[in-house]
Amino acid sequence: MAPKSRAPATTPSTTAPTTTTASTPAKSSKSGSSSAPQDILTGIWNNYVNKTPSRVKLLDTFMAFLVVVGALQFLYCIIVGNFPFNAFLSGFSATVGQFVLTASLRMQTNPENSKEFEGTSHERAFADFVLGSFLLHFFCVNFIN
């Protein structure tokens, strides 16, 4: 995007500026809206709760669960060890892969993205998700031995 053109600077006048004795209150740097971090987060949360469809919220909950499971697997690997490394690698990659597949499903079924996925129905997106999940878990189970 091209930068906006600026108006030419005005030339200084030869007359001296007049000063007034009445004091005016200084304007606040805030433009009426609160910008405290807590207020911003509350606004984001309220917008999410009020405007997000329940299907998308369900997918978000599942994605949060996958993040917790992945973090627990990684923490277990750090604390206890990763003796059967292929089992850890398989479980962790299954978690990450399922997260990616769920994110893809969320993008395709979100009503706000309907223009980007006009040719894909919700049923087709879910079928792709299920097929991808089967393939992912098939390879992960075979990787464990």
Rounded Cα distance between 88 and 121, Å, is: 36
pLDDT in tens, 114-135: 889 888 899 999 999 999 999 9
∠ CA 134-112-45, nearest 5°, is 95
Rounded Cα distance between 97 and 135, Å, is: 10
pLDDT band at 33 (very low <50, low <70, confident <90, very high): low
pLDDT > 70 in the chain, percent:
77
Please report the DSSP string for 42-91 in residue order.
HHHHHHHHHHS-HHHHHHHHHHHHHHHHHHHHHHHHHHT--SSHHHHHHH
> Between 108 and 15, where is the model more confident?
108
Rounded Cα distance between 94 and 63, Å, is: 13
Rounded Cα distance between 59 and 111, Å, is: 13
Give residue 9's pLDDT: 55
76 has a pLDDT exceeding 80: yes
pTM for the full predicted model: 0.70
84 has a pLDDT exceeding 90: no
- The per-residue pLDDT of the chain, averaged, comes to 83
Give residue 35's pLDDT: 77
Give residue 105's pLDDT: 95
